[in-house]
Each structure stands twice: as C-alpha cells, then as structure tokens.
Amino acid sequence: MKYIFNFLRRMVHAIDWPLMLILMVLALVGLLVMHSAVGGTDWRFADQSRNFIVAFLAMWIVAMTPPHIISKLAVPFYVVGVLLLLGVFFFGDTSKGATRWLNLGFTRIQPSEMMKIAAPLMLAWYFSFREGTMRFFDFFVSAVLLAIPFLLIVKQPDLGTALLVFGAGFCVIYFAGLPFKLLLPVVIVGVIGIGSIIAFQEDLCDDDFDWVVLHDYQKHRICTLLDPSTDPLGKGFHTIQSTIAVGSGGVYGKGYMNGTQTHLDFIPERTTDFIFAVFSEEFGLYGGVMLLLLYSLLLARGLTIAVRAPTHFSRLLAGALTMVLFIYVFVNIGMVTGILPVVGVPLPLLSYGGTALLTIGIACGILMSISKYRPPQQ
C-alpha cells in the first residue's frame, strides 16, 4: 500500500499543473471543434478521443522520466530515427505520390514524425556535451546532424515535416550561441529569394519553368499562394475556401454547428490541416483571438520552463520544443488564412491525427520533466 501511495504521489508531482491546465482546455476545444467538423460523434471523433488518451498517457510517462535519463536516450533515439528514415528511402510504402511510411509487418509507421523530437534532443545533448569547449567546428557538426534527417525527409517528399524538423533543430543551434554573422547571410538570401519570386512571379510560375530544387506540386503551392485565382477549382481551391470560411465568420461567428462552408463540404481536409477554418467560421474573430491567447499561454509556459531549467541541456531542449509548438501554430494558421503555402502542418491539439498528437504529448511531457526536476544538492 505504501508503494502504491508513493507511486501515485510521484505521478501527481510529475505534472506541471499550469501547463496541464492549458493542455486540457485546448483538448476540450479540440474535441468540441472535431465534433462539429465531422457533424457528430462518428468514428473520427471516437478515434480522436482515443488519440487524446494515448497522448496524455505518453505525456505522463515521459513527465515521470528525469531529464538526465532523457539525455542518455538522445543518441540511440536519433540513430534509430535516421536508420528508419533510411529504411523508408529504400523500402518505404508509397501512397498518393509520397514515400513516407515504413511497413514493419505488424504495423506501419512514419519515422519522420519521431525526428521532430529526436533531432532537437540529439542537438541539445551534443551542445551540452560540448559545453565550455565550444568552437566554430561544433556548429558545423550540428548542421550535419540536422541536415541528415532534413534531407531524407525532403526526399520522401514531405516538405512540411522537414521544415518542422529543421525549425526544431535550428532553434537548438541558435539558442546554443549561433553567431549572428553566420545567420545574416542566410536571412539576406531568403529575403532576396522571396523578393525574386514575387517580382518574377509570372515567369517563374509558368508551367514550363523548372524550379529544380522543388517538386512540381511544391512549386504550384507557392504560385497558388501568390495568386489563388489562377486555378480556383484546382490548386487554389484549398486556400480560397478556407479564407472564405475564416472571413465569413465575422466578429461573432455563425454559431456552433452552423458553419455553412463546413457542413456543405466546401472546406477541404476540415478535420486535419484546415480545422482552424472550421473554428473561425463558427466562433468568429472573438473565438480566434481566444484560441490564439490559449496558444500564447502554452508558449509562455514553455519558455518559462526553459528559462528556469537547471542545466544547459534542459534549457536548450525546452526552448526548442516550445518553438516547435510555435512553428506548428504559425504555419498552420498562416496557410489557412492564405499568408503561407499549404504544407500539411496540423494545428496542435485541434487537428485530427494520432501521430501528431503523440508527438505533442511527448514534447509536453519533456517540458514537464524539465519543469519539475531538481538536481540533487551537492
């Protein structure tokens, strides 16, 4: 009985309750919107409810694992992830033109998802290992460690996941002390590239023009972002219909279960990538602002945990995982509102999908582990 009591007390103590409260509210909002998006309590709603249970259990287990144990798993977790990505490259299952899944016989997995955690975990471990002896060469090594999974995921192709993995790893490298003089040329090239695409849109978006580094469908996504009206019933349909849904919600929204764009099937992928359009149509500007406030509280709590973390490894990892959540929210809402191209990034705790929820649950579990851990006094 004493053992059970101590275990239950440890479980309760492992939870960062401010973070848990925010996650629970977002989960309830997610189930509420999912109920409307599917028009009731069909199998997708039931699956999402189960996905939440699995994600929260995984979060709890990870939260009970001390950060120093998590750091010891960094290298094997990263190596296994890269090996699985290589398995996808050589033996992966292809569906809808993309080779992203690996069939293990008893189940089919998408290894790129685990790299959202494995990449920043590996880099945080590397920089903590090199703490006090940092040199320029260490940034080169970290860039190679990040480039390997990034390029393998781009090759699948899965640009959305690749960008999330890159963003997570880059945040670790930046927080570790990446000199601004190395970052400035990348920013300049990016600004010139975006400006060139806008300035020469007509020529670059011609069907006969080959972008070389991007697949045709990725090129069309960017061109459609610049002018969705060029193909309103084809490649621009997603962007046009989602922005109509967001705008038609107005200030107060049309009311729960009353979204016409949603229930007349005009919003594509309304349970996954475009669920924010469903939410905005039914709850309007006020609802959208409140949802963004919830996400802001989530990010603020994550950054607070990062600032208060007792070790260099914990600070880097907590900061990077918080920024991953920010990238999720920013990219998803950006593509739904038409300011970013459609890249298939889910909205945390709202979009349907077990793998994405599990990834977010593990990330939040790591944040809780870092928040509650106190190193033993010397």
pLDDT score recorded for residue 360: 92
pTM: 0.87
| pLDDT for 116 beyond 80 | yes
Two structure tokens written together for 234: 């084809």
pLDDT tens, position by position, 47-68: 888 989 999 999 999 998 888 8
Calculate mean pLDDT across residues 192-208. Answer: 71
pLDDT tens, position by position, 249-296: 888 888 888 888 877 777 877 888 888 988 999 998 999 999 999 999
Q: How confident is the model at residue 137 (pLDDT cuts 50, 70, 90)?
A: confident
pLDDT score recorded for residue 378: 44
pLDDT score recorded for residue 147: 92
**Higher-pLDDT residue of 133, 243:** 243
Per the document, the length of the chain is 378
pLDDT score recorded for residue 20: 93
Two structure tokens written together for 315: 């600070």
Sheet of 98-103: strand order equals 93-95, 98-103, 108-109
Listed ranges 139-143, 204-208, 218-222, 293-297; the one with the highest mean pLDDT: 293-297
Rounded to the nearest integer, the mean pLDDT of the chain is 83
pLDDT score recorded for residue 231: 63
| pLDDT for 207 beyond 90 | no
CB atoms within 10 A of CB 346: 23
Peptide bond preceding 157 in cis form (omega within 30 of 0): yes
Q: How confident is the model at residue 4 (pLDDT cuts 50, 70, 90)?
A: low
CB atoms within 10 A of CB 243: 17
pLDDT score recorded for residue 47: 86
Beta-bridge partner residues of 108: 103
Calculate mean pLDDT across residues 133-160. Answer: 86
Nearest in space to 205 (alpha carbons), one of 182, 228, 222, 193: 222
pLDDT score recorded for residue 329: 92
Calculate mean pLDDT across residues 19-27. Answer: 94
Element (H, E) at 259: none
Q: How confident is the model at residue 314 (pLDDT cuts 50, 70, 90)?
A: very high
Residue by residue, DSSP assigns 341-376 as: -----PPTTTS--HHHHHHHHHHHHHHHHHHH--PP
Calculate mean pLDDT across residues 332-341. Answer: 85
